[in-house]
Structure 1
Amino acid sequence: MHRFSKMFTVGAVANFIMVTTAITAFADGTWSKAAPFPEPAEEVLGSAANGKIYVFAGLIPHWRPKGLVYEFNPVDDTWTKKKQMALPSHHVAFTQLGGKIYAFGGFVLPKVGQPSWVPINNAWRYDPTDDTWTALAPMPTSRGAAAAAAANGKIYVVGGVVTPSGSNVTAVSPDQPHSSVGTLEEYDPISDTWKELRPMPTARNHLLLGAVDGKLYAIGGRLSSAFIGLASDTSVVEEYDPAKDLWRVRARMPTERSSLAGGVVNGKIYVAGGEFQDARMSATFRAFESYDPAKNAWTTLPSMAVARHGMAGGVVGDTLHFVSGDVQSSGTGLDVSSPSHDVFTVDH
């Protein structure tokens, strides 16, 4: 490991603490810092389109969705605030196809009563060019904390959290019955139609979904409950082949975790951050690992500078961007959101 002499400073928004970080190069790539996120928040979500990074959603106290939309231009290292999401919601599944960004499901607040998470089946297409949202055919299943990815011209949404079928429970909360699902649904953007496929073997939420060579890889996540203090994290990796409508188990991720971010570069899936809780500890991860589907093997990479969960991830070219999120696991009751914008450039 060696360090470059170029240094730069990032200011923490809330308390004006200044952090100085060097650009650091490793055999696998280079970590650096980009312009900090202007409006730090937990549970932000990311995607990339047309050479830019987009950050969506965010939560404020009492589970109120922020509905953020920000655009980052890597060329001039600047953020631009866009119009709010058409439907402010949280734990939405985002992915990109054909220069457009697609958003599926998530949670909203109930119209009356105590704050909780109401699963929705809304589907949207966001056009970054003119900053507009278009409503699409709704998902067959209302769910939040699912994951989405595009492959072979179709979009796949997998996993998530639902309320019990046949019950009068309408919202997800720590003291109400709810469950994770392995539900897999395919969206055709040309016909604006949905098809239900073979469910994922390991029902989970807060997972990552990556697509490589036409196949999907469901990585990590949270078992059982939607809430980290009540659930168990997993390191399970399962591969889905759309051509055969079949799943198989692959090599486990080195670090079991949920609420993670990542992306695909050069046929490998990169996974960063996440959170964990049990009776002894409440923590976020700096962990950064890559999965090579061709070798069915994981590589542990140099960690992120700032550990956090619920951050946005996106890929432009050979760079992975990890934006904002919380530096502590959920439930502190404190503002622990970070403006940090970490960039990893993959070596060729």
Structure 2
Amino acid sequence: MSVSKTRTVQIRWNMTGALLAWCLTASLAFADEWRSAAAIPKGAEEVYGIAAGGKLYVFGGLGLDWNAMGMVMEYDPGTDIWTRKRDMPRGLHHVALAEVKGRIYMFGGFTLPEKGKPMWVPVNDAWEYDPQADAWRALAPLPVARGSANAIHINGRIHVIGGATLPAGLKEEWVHPSRNIAVGTHEVYDLASNSWTKAADMPTPRNHATGAAVDNRIYIIGGRIGSVFIPNAFNIDLVEEYNPAKDQWQLRTPMPTPRSASAWGVYGGQIYVAGGEIRHRDIWGTYTAVEAFDPKSNSWIRHSPMPMPRHGLAGDFIGNHFHLVSGSVQSGTNASGLITNTDRHDILVIDRK
């Protein structure tokens, strides 16, 4: 495994400095257009989106006391209608999704402990969902149980990278809020053989990151280090590229806005990152930022901001339409009792003419 000799984690908490860095490292894209589409029937935070067969599928949702809703919703852009589909096999949150030939693959996540207070227990679940049949099928389990990882498909293999799990050597059943439990674990699922192999771990352990593939290379962007819980974690801007042919990682240009719990999608060879959250001292917030990484030029382009800031939202592209659905406008756990989830469905139309 080869990694750049200099690996500096850049954590920018000074808002003026972050704004200056954003202006210096990202060029402004024009011709952006925002549209509204049918709201999702049930708004929630911690929803996860992926496109398949020309439709958008939204999974998950997190209710009170961390009860996972396990919902599956299908959005048809041709009719602007949402349809409720068969629920997830069990209630999980912070799952990793990938799409291959119209089928959707789901890995890991967290669930509640069998007894005691509500907490997050990492699982090794692996599932295939067939949207046409509206049916689930269990797969060979993920070797290392973890949640908030990324799943990226390349050439018949799905790479499950990063996330958060239980610390080794400690007899704990759920993830402790203050522990450094982010991992760089990299395991590869082979669809043909329904089996797993090991690959080079990601150099920077992280969770709640963006993960996508362009031209047979994998990119892990941003996320958080340390804890899986935002009050005890730090957002990072690092972009790491993985080459499956060489089983090697290297650094690329950092993301202008360090953040985690964003939505993302790929269009025109660029990786779009939207929204996310920050929590530091007296700052509890969510982002409107939309930024796109171009691997060919190793540079970032900033797009018009989202109409409403939020994190834990679902997103993906259908054609040149970047769908961004639901999420929460409040960072982290909401202790105020206010409802901070939204059913909003925004579309960023990308026009490069």
Fold shared by both chains (TM-score > 0.5): yes
Say which of 150, 154, 160 aligns to 1:157. 160
Corresponding position of 1:125: 128
Q: 2:274 matched to 1:272?
A: yes
Equivalent residue, structure 1, for 2:203: 201
8 Å contact kept, 2:32–2:303: no
Amino acid at match of 1:126: Y
Q: Which has the higher contact order (CA 8 A, sep 6+)?
A: 2
Displacement of 1:196 in angstroms is: 1.0
State the match for 2:341 in structure 1.
337
Task: Tell whether the 8 Å contact from 1:43 to 1:91 is kept in structure 2 after alignment.
Answer: yes
Q: State the secondary structure of the residue aligned to 1:38.
A: coil
Distance 1:28 1:150, change over 3 A: farther
How many angstroms apart in 2 are the aligned matches of 1:143 and 1:76? 37
Distance 1:173 1:167 in 2: 11
Preserved CA contact (<8 Å) 1:163 1:178: no
- For residues 196 and 218 of structure 1, what CA distance do their matches in structure 2 show? 17
Equivalent runs, 1:170-249 vs 2, <5 Å:
170-174=173-177, 177=179, 179-249=181-251
SS of residue matched to 2:231:
coil
Contact 1:28 1:301 survives alignment (8 Å): no
- Whether 1:77 aligns to 2:77 is no
Q: 1:278 and 1:244 mapped to 2: Cα distance?
A: 38
- TM-score, with normalisation over the residues of structure 2? 0.90
What's the counterpart of residue 3 of structure 1?
A: none
The answer to whether the Cα contact below 8 Å between 1:162 and 1:178 also exists between their aligned partners in 2 is: no
Equivalent in 9, 21, 30 of residue 27 of structure 1: 30
Structure 1 runs (4+) deviating above 4 angstroms are none
Distance 2:35 2:176 in 1: 38
- How far did residue 178 of structure 1 move? 5.1
The structural deviation recorded for 1:173 is 3.3
Tell me which protein shows more strand as a share of its residues.
1
Partner SS state of residue 65, structure 2 = coil
Gaps of 5+ in 2: 1-28
What is the aligned partner in structure 2 of residue 6 from structure 1?
A: none
Which residue pairs with 2:300 in the alignment?
A: 298
Please give the per-residue CA displacement for 1:120-171, whole angstroms capped at 9, x wherever unaligned.
0110000000111000000111000111111122111111001012221111
Per the TM alignment, residue 61 of structure 1 is displaced from its structure 2 partner at its CA by 0.9
Tell me the percent identity.
Answer: 47
Contact 2:30 2:303 in 1 (8 A): no
Per-residue deviation, residues 95-116 of structure 1 (Å, max 9, x unmatched)? 1011000000000100011111
Match of 1:91 in 2: 94
Aligned partner letter, 2:236: T
Measure the CA separation in 2 of the matches of 1:99 and 1:332. 36
- Secondary structure at the residue paired with 1:157? strand
Between structures 1 and 2, the one with greater helix share? 2
Aligned partner (choices 140, 143, 147) of residue 144 of structure 1: 147
1:283-316 deviation line (CA, Å, top 9, x unaligned): 0000000000000000111100010000001221
User: Offset at 1:219?
Assistant: 0.4
Note the alpha carbon deviations across 1:237-295, whole angstroms, 9 max, x for none: 00000000000000000000000111000100000000000112100000000000000
Q: Alignment partner for residue 347 of structure 1, among 341, 347, 351?
A: 351
Q: Deviations over 1:31-62 (max 9, x none)?
A: 11111111000100111100000000010011
- Look up the match of 2:285: 283
1:111 to 2:114 alignment:
yes
Asked if the contact 1:318–1:346 (Cα under 8 Å) also holds between the matched residues in 2, the reply is: yes
Cα deviation for residue 331 of structure 1 reads 1.8
2:321 corresponds to: 319
Secondary structure of 2:242 counterpart = strand
d(CA) in 2 for partners of 1:283, 1:120 = 29
Give the alignment's TM-score, normalised by structure 1.
0.91
Deviates more, 1:244-253 or 1:311-320: 311-320
Asked whether the equivalents of residues 106 and 127 of structure 2 are also in contact (C-alpha less than 8 Å), the reply is: yes
Residue by residue, what CA displacement relative to the aligned partner does 1:157-203 show, whole Å, maximum 9, x if unpaired?
1110010122211111325x450000111111111011111000110
Which of 32, 37, 40 lines up with 1:37 in the alignment?
A: 40
SS in 1 for 2:208: coil
Q: Which consecutive residues of structure 1, in runs of 5 or more, have no partner in the other structure?
A: 1-25
Match of 2:12 in 1: none
| Deviations 1:223-242 (CA, angstroms, capped at 9, x unpaired) | 00000011000010000000
Amino acid at match of 1:340: R
SS of the aligned residue for 2:232 comes to: coil
